Amino acid sequence: MPTLRVELFAGRTPEQKAQLAHELTQACVRVLGGDPSGVDVLFFDVERHDWATGGVLWHEKASQVPKQS
Amino acid sequence: MPTLRVELFAGRTPEQKAQLAHELTQACVRVLGGDPSGVDVLFFDVERHDWATGGVLWHEKASQVPKQS
Amino acid sequence: MPTLRVELFAGRTPEQKAQLAHELTQACVRVLGGDPSGVDVLFFDVERHDWATGGVLWHEKASQVPKQS
Amino acid sequence: MPTLRVELFAGRTPEQKAQLAHELTQACVRVLGGDPSGVDVLFFDVERHDWATGGVLWHEKASQVPKQS
Amino acid sequence: MPTLRVELFAGRTPEQKAQLAHELTQACVRVLGGDPSGVDVLFFDVERHDWATGGVLWHEKASQVPKQS
Amino acid sequence: MPTLRVELFAGRTPEQKAQLAHELTQACVRVLGGDPSGVDVLFFDVERHDWATGGVLWHEKASQVPKQS
């Protein structure tokens, strides 16, 4: 009955989510046993203005990127 | 102080959510005691392309539905 | 496919949780339709030293209760 | 490694979130020690039609506000 | 920066969790790109008396299992 | 109405949690306005064998620490 909640930056393609849901489920079944039908995966898109690391939102970090790279 | 987080497929009407919030709160009070004002209910709409069961996103399942039913 | 996460103070009896799981599920089916088998309810016990309201943990509040009541 | 999830009513400005992420992170470092880079803060906007207290959604409460105040 | 929360029945071995954390992380990197160091996986053990499906706690289901199997 | 969920390594003292709950609540009120009584803070202790970064559980990392530092 494992349920996985995946918080990730918004902007992934539907194909990436489909592939990731598949691979995460396979990993659960491989390691824990059980049937794939018992595994739920939920994706939560988080915008860069809603996620901070080190006290700085990621969209702020982006705008602080030095010019040369 | 119970707090309920309800993840459900997007697409419910405001009336359904209002009714469900009311009934979930009543159930908590009936079973746990306490005052309704201490019960919080939060709804999180999840799109079918963000929820997988058995490794397949629900919007993929929908498109795989056989024609006859 | 609704999934409900219920955070509540530790100390409820197994009978209360069983009853509450049943009633919450019934409410979901009644309001949203669908089959009970699609409803998951998870309980998370939270100790009073792990939950604060108004900046004060509930086990601190308890110890601040005036003597007369 | 603390990770904070903050559910709040939708409608805060980006400046408020940036400031709040900063202050929450500072509080963690001040009290728990460690480096700010180990602190994650995620914001989840919740609409008033998705949050109920006392069994009533907040956007219903708003429409029930008495005229005089 | 994906963060995965995995709710699963209590009782897995430390080796299973270590292996699962490794494989889930690999899946994220494979599908989303990025560095493994950006992936967090958190496990939350849920007891069978705290998880209901279809309105019945799993430890009740267990006790309802017919004798022959 | 902000609600904060704080996941942190197990082992903090009650005094640290009390202090942190207080400071997080103050930060919310300072930045968002509103009354402290509307702020909830919940702590979730996570053991080092239940949290992985980079695909490795933290209790494994600990045992891999080189001898010299």
C-alpha pair distances (Å), A57 with each of A48, C7, D40, E39, F29:
7, 28, 9, 17, 20
Q: How far is it, in rounded angstroms, from Cα E4 to Cα B41? A: 23
Q: Do E41 and F49 touch (CB under 8 A)?
A: no
Chain A contact present for B60, CB below 8 A: yes
Tokens standing for residue D30:
């001040």
Q: Do D41 and A51 touch (CB under 8 A)?
A: yes
Helix (H, G, I), strand (E, B) or coil at A13: coil
Cα D49 from chain centre = 16
pLDDT tens column, C24-47: 999 999 999 999 999 999 999 999
Please identify which residue in the block is written with the tokens 């930060």. Answer: F27
- Out of C50, C52, C60, the one facing F25 most closely (by C-beta) is C52
Give residue B1's pLDDT. 79
Q: How far is it, in rounded angstroms, from Cα B9 to Cα B45? A: 6
Residue C17 has pLDDT above 80, yes or no: yes
pLDDT tens digits in sequence order for chain F, 69 residues long? 799 999 999 999 999 999 999 999 999 999 999 999 999 999 999 999 999 999 999 999 977 655 443
Give residue D30's pLDDT. 98
Please identify which residue in the block is written with the tokens 């919450």. Answer: C24
Give residue B68's pLDDT. 45
Q: Do chains F and D touch (3 or more CB pairs under 8 A)?
A: yes
pLDDT tens column, D2-45: 999 999 999 999 999 999 999 999 999 999 999 999 999 999 99
Chain D contact present for A49, CB below 8 A: yes
Amino acid of residue D15: E
Residue C16 has pLDDT above 70, yes or no: yes
Cα angle value D55/D61/D67 (rounded, 5°): 150
Residue C65 has pLDDT above 70, yes or no: no
CB hemisphere CA count around F17 (13 angstroms):
26
Taking the C-alpha atoms of D18, D20, D25 and D26 in order, what is their torsion angle to the nearest 10 degrees?
A: 110
- Cα of C50 to nearest chain E Cα, Å: 16
Mind giving me the DSSP string for E1-69?
--EEEEEEETT--HHHHHHHHHHHHHHHHHHH-S-GGG-EEEEEEE-TTSEEETTEEHHHHHHHS-TT-
Residues 6+ apart with CB under 8 A from E63: none
pLDDT tens column, B25-41: 999 999 999 999 999 99
pLDDT tens column, A7-63: 999 999 999 999 999 999 999 999 999 999 999 999 999 999 999 999 999 999 977
Per-residue pLDDT band at C62 (split at 50, 70, 90): confident
Residues 6+ apart with CB under 8 A from E43: E6, E8, E12, E17, E20, E21, F50, F51
Give residue A69's pLDDT. 37
Output the furthest CA–CA distance in chain E (Å, rounded). Answer: 51
pTM: 0.92
- Cα of A22 to nearest chain B Cα, Å: 4
The predicted model gives C40-65 an average pLDDT of: 92
Chain F contact present for E36, CB below 8 A: yes
Output the furthest CA–CA distance in chain F (Å, rounded). Answer: 51
Give residue D60's pLDDT. 93
Beta pairing class for C3-9 and C40-46: parallel
Q: How far is it, in rounded angstroms, from Cα D31 to Cα F20? A: 6
Annotated active-site residue C2? The verdict is: yes
- Cα of C14 to nearest chain F Cα, Å: 22
- Cα of A36 to nearest chain B Cα, Å: 4
Chain B contact present for D54, CB below 8 A: yes
Chain C contact present for B19, CB below 8 A: yes
Residue to substitute from B45, B51, B63, B64, interface A, most A β-carbons within 10 A: B51
Chain E contact present for F57, CB below 8 A: yes
Per-residue pLDDT band at D62 (split at 50, 70, 90): confident
pLDDT less than 70: residues of chain E: 64-69
Q: How many CB atoms lie within 10 A of CB E21?
A: 29
Percent of chain E at pLDDT > 90 equals: 86
Helix (H, G, I), strand (E, B) or coil at F37: helix
E57: nearest CA partner in chain C = C18
- Answer yes or no: are the C-beta atoms of A2 and E7 closer than 8 Å: yes
